[in-house]
Structures are given as C-alpha cells and as structure tokens.
Amino acid sequence: MKTIKKIIMSVVLVVLALALSGCTKKETLVCTKDQDEAGVAINSKMEAIFEGNEVTNINLNVTAEVNSALSTYVPNMKNLIESQYEKYKKDGTMVNVTSKDNTIKADLTFDLKKMSSKDKKELDLIDTKGTKKATQRELEKEGYTCK
C-alpha cells in the first residue's frame, strides 16, 4: 500500500512540476479575409501561433490582384510594400514580396520573441496578449473569418 502511495505521490509531483515549469500548449489561429477595393482584390491569410495566452508568431500572406486598368502600377505597388517593411528585415522578421502580371504577393513572418520592442510598436504588434478566443473575436470584428 505504501508503494502505491509513493507512486501516486511521485506522479502528482511530476505533473505539478511540469505545470509550473512553463510547459504551455501551442495553439494556432488561422483567419482569412477577402476584400475588393478600387479595382484591387485582396486575399489575406493570417496565422497566429499562441503559447499560453500570448501570440508568439504571426504569418501573414497577402495576395493582391489588380484589374487591367491598374496593371501598370504593379511594380510601383510592389516596391512600396517592400520599402514599408525593408527596415524590419532583421531579427524576427522575414519579408518576401513578389509580383507577376497583375498580382502582388507579400509573405510576412513575425517572430515576436526575437523582435525588438521598438519594431513591434511601430508595426502595432504590442498588444499580443490574450486568449485565442478573444483574439479570434477581435479579428472577426475586423472582417476576418477564423477557424
């Protein structure tokens, strides 16, 4: 009987130690948004990775397809997007912008653990604490569809 109590107590202590050691479950929230404005169809997909109640990574993929009347502006639009994020291409941030014909694709990755506080503030990524559900509600208010 004492052996069973020791085993149970050991298991309880291990579970308690793991719970207190910061082992947090990773969760992912994927949201999409489609919009059409002034001859530009924009499809966005955002993936937020949570550790506990904090977003640690954000992956954003945006595809913009312009109508033929605006196609001559595609190179300028691509350059504008690249220049907006150029200074953030360092620790924690990856930016890849491409264009072909009438389409511009921007793939942005933010590792919030590696980014500086200044960069996060400039990109409005400061308020990244909160539950997955609360974040989902806020994004859905902005027109995203989340799963």
- pLDDT for res 147: 85
pLDDT at residue 23, as a whole number: 57
List beta partners, residue 61.
45, 107
Residue 145 to residues 28, 35, 50, 136: CA-CA distances in angstroms? 14, 12, 18, 9
Distance CA 93, CA 114 (A): 8
Q: How far apart are CA 66 and CA 9, in angstroms?
A: 65
* Domains assigned to the chain: 25-146 (3.30.1830.10)
Block mean pLDDT (10 aa), the chain, length 147: 40 35 77 92 95 93 91 90 86 91 94 90 80 90 92
pLDDT for res 58? 94
Q: Whole-prediction pTM value?
A: 0.77
Q: Please tell me the distance from the alpha carbon of residue 76 to that of residue 106, in angstroms, as a whole number.
A: 14
Q: Give residue 105's pLDDT.
A: 96
